[in-house]
Structure 1
Amino acid sequence: MIHHFITELKNRTLLIVLAWTSVMAVGYFYKEVLLFLLVKPNLCLFQQNSQYFIFTNLTDIFSTYLKLISFVGNQFFFAFLIYHLFVFLVPGLYFSEYKKYATFFRTSLTLWFFSIFILNSYLLPLSWKFFLSFQTSSDHSVLTFHLEAKIIEYLDLYINLYYICCLNFQLFVLLIVFVNYIKENLDLIKTLRKFFYFGFFLIATFMTPPDIFSQLVVGMSAIMIFELTIVIIILRIHVSKTF
């Protein structure tokens, strides 16, 4: 019995390593496309002037491609690892436990894709628009500022924003688990509601550019999702009691 478990672990480890290696190899051949996809969300800010990046070290571009490929490969590696771990544990779970963990996995995966969409469609362009607003090129200005961004620094910025955005969205998975855990005690949810509100706006402060409008939008959106989650759970409780 133990021999079968060890064999399966070896096979799944080999599959994960092969998948990660394949993603890294494919990513190397399409490295220019991957880099363009990371730059694409900001093209709307450069309608008149073409966007360009500089490099001040001979190895900067090569280092950028290596970091980009490693970043993409690590995301797939983590996704494969979670999937194979879940499939490995499924035979030892009850059906109710399987259903619970499958829902948790699907929710986490959905929020992961949604966080990438929000980052590329809203957060990254808003961040660039806010910080570029301090750039001045007028002849009447005493000091002029013009951005010439390094490509490796832009990649570092994108990766940092990506991890911040994904981690914040994954907090909603923990929130759903917590609400489901205490769904029989709705009074406790009402008592902790103000702490959740404070936490949402605190997260929005770190997640968005330092302007009040972005913080309000993200904070209020989180509160709406929180309240909608509570309403759905309450409706499920009433439906289950009715039937």
Structure 2
Amino acid sequence: MNDVQKPLLEHLIELRRRLLIVVSVLVLGMGLAYFFSQDIFEFLVEPLTTLLQGQPGRRLIYTGLTEAFITYLKISFFGGLFLSFPVLAYQVWQFLSPGLYSQEKKLAIPLFLGAPLLFLLGSAMAYYVVCPVAWKFFLSFETPPSPGVLPIQLEARVEEYLSLVLKLIFSFGLCFQLPVVMYLLGRLGIVSSKMLQDKRKYAFLGIVIVAAIITPPDFFSPISLIIPLYALYEISIILVKRTEKVRIMQTQENVKAS
């Protein structure tokens, strides 16, 4: 019993140490992001600013006394998450790598190194592709003033706009982590390549539901998430299948050696 408990306690202690590292980097990232919160705010508002450029009187408003301050705190928190994500991916790799075979490490190293890149790719797609198209669609419902009719014009609240943009950016970034998550689940034996292949239609349905929940209610935004996310699902099947082959080969080598 002591031999079993000791490795478990060592793993828990190591896990706590790595969590403390991630939290510390997150706090430092939040402080740095708050220092540049005004610049980050201007960057996040740029897709809307571009569409409204040249139209006098356009603005963002806040209706609560503390709303603007809370918004800047939210920007700093999400900025800290963004900055600390590479550290999180590295700490996860350092925690799991001792339990991997050498062939699995060759497969997993590019995957974990690519996790921040996948996150950045998903976030960039939300910011540069989805936001401009979605904002243009919603602004098309504005109506100009005419005799006897009041105009309909957007006066977005700061908190609502920033919440929507940050939700899109981080949702896309996290969704693009699908291959990493599936690799980990496959390594733990929770999923198999055959299971993923047999459940393709259910996976596609789940992807459609997730896209409908986290994207704006226009036609283009859900499609822009469904297509790459399903492609990443197919890539996940290949990764899990390769992991299973490596595990079988390693088991056979161990049997021959014994």
The TM-score range, normalised by the shorter chain, is 0.7 to 0.9
Between the aligned residues of both structures, percent identity stands at 32
Q: Secondary structure at the match of 2:172?
A: helix
Aligned to 2:68: 61
Deviation (angstroms), 1:48:
1.6
Separation (CA, whole Å) in 2 of partners of 1:69 and 1:143:
38
Separation (CA, whole Å) in 1 of partners of 2:207 and 2:13:
45
**TM-score, normalised by the number of residues in structure 2:** 0.69
CA contact (8 A) 2:144 2:151 kept: yes
Aligned to 1:43: 49
Separation (CA, whole Å) in 1 of partners of 2:234 and 2:18:
40
Separation (CA, whole Å) in 1 of partners of 2:19 and 2:223:
44
| Structure 2: tracts of 5 or more residues without a match | 1-5, 242-258
Aligned to 2:109: 102
Aligned to 1:145: 152
Deviation (angstroms), 1:128:
1.6
Deviation (angstroms), 1:37:
1.5
Residue 83 of structure 1 is aligned with which of 87, 90, 96? 90
Separation (CA, whole Å) in 2 of partners of 1:20 and 1:138:
48
Cα displacement string for residues 22-49 of structure 1 (whole angstroms, at most 9, x for unaligned residues): 2222222211111112112323211222
Deviation (angstroms), 1:146:
1.4
Separation (CA, whole Å) in 1 of partners of 2:38 and 2:119:
24
Q: Secondary structure at the match of 2:152?
A: coil
Separation (CA, whole Å) in 1 of partners of 2:240 and 2:93:
25
CA 1:133–1:28: 2 relative to 1, 3 Å: same
Residue 125 of structure 1 is aligned with which of 132, 135, 139? 132
Residue 122 of structure 2 is aligned with which of 103, 110, 115? 115
Separation (CA, whole Å) in 2 of partners of 1:92 and 1:228:
23
Deviation (angstroms), 1:78:
4.8
Separation (CA, whole Å) in 1 of partners of 2:53 and 2:229:
32
CA 1:175–1:16: 2 relative to 1, 3 Å: closer
Q: Secondary structure at the match of 2:130?
A: helix
Residue 171 of structure 2 is aligned with which of 161, 164, 175? 164
Deviation (angstroms), 1:149:
1.4
CA 1:84–1:220: 2 relative to 1, 3 Å: closer
CA contact (8 A) 2:142 2:153 kept: yes
Read off the aligned partner of 2:67 and give its amino acid letter. D
CA 1:141–1:124: 2 relative to 1, 3 Å: farther
Read off the aligned partner of 1:125 and give its amino acid letter. P
Deviation (angstroms), 1:120:
0.6
CA contact (8 A) 1:137 1:145 kept: yes
Separation (CA, whole Å) in 2 of partners of 1:6 and 1:174:
21
The answer to whether the aligner puts 1:33 opposite 2:39 as a matched pair is yes
In the comparison of the two structures, how many residue pairs are matched? Answer: 233
Separation (CA, whole Å) in 1 of partners of 2:148 and 2:211:
33
Instruction: Give runs of aligned pairs for residues 160-199 of structure 1, distance below 5 A.
Output: 160-174=167-181, 189=197, 192-199=199-206
Deviation (angstroms), 1:196:
3.9
CA 1:114–1:78: 2 relative to 1, 3 Å: closer
Read off the aligned partner of 2:202 and give its amino acid letter. F
Deviation (angstroms), 1:69:
0.8
Deviation (angstroms), 1:213:
4.4
Cα displacement string for residues 212-239 of structure 1 (whole angstroms, at most 9, x for unaligned residues): 34444544454556567779999xxxxx
**TM-score, normalised by the number of residues in structure 1:** 0.72
Aligned to 1:209: 216
